[in-house]
Homo-oligomer: A and B are copies of this chain.
Amino acid sequence: MKALGCHLLVEYYGCDENILNNAPRIEEAMTEAADQSGATIVNSIFHLFNPHGVSGVVVIAESHLAIHTWPEYGFAAADIFTCGDKVIPEAAIESLHKALKAASRQCKEIPRGPQSAGRIRSCGASSKP
């Protein structure tokens, strides 16, 4: 059986700290990323933590996009879970990279579903500060 879903885990380094601590900006970035990937947005939640950091999730018809930010490290951890062939998750990754003004990123691709366990590969740009 083909994997049912594709789960991409992306670490963004050297991001703009002010953007990482701005919940509306992160929501805008995530919504734009979902749109760029061709996903259909179902619902979303964004939350600004005290003293800092944003968590946000966009549920899409094809699964989800999530992000957690650490402004104090200029770091954001995103994950993009997609099903089917319609969505292009790489477009979401690139869109987020630009929106967060990231210096670099690392990405892992993990197939999800029966028969897919154990297959993990790196993808995309892999330079790290």
Which of A59, A68, A122 has the largest count of B CB atoms less than 10 A from its CB? A68
Q: Interface SS of chain A: helix, strand, loop or mixed?
A: strand
A50-61 near B? 1/0 per residue, CB < 8 Å: 000001110101
Q: Give which listed residue, B45, B59, B83, B113, contacts A11 with CB less than 8 A.
A: B113
A106: which B residues are within 8 A, CB to CB? 117
What is the size, in residues, of chain A's interface with B at 8 Å between Cβ atoms? 40
Residues of A within 8 A of B (CB): 4-5, 7, 9, 11, 13, 42-45, 47, 49, 55-57, 59, 61, 63-64, 66, 68, 70, 73, 75, 77, 79, 81, 83, 106, 108, 110, 112-114, 116-118, 120, 122, 128
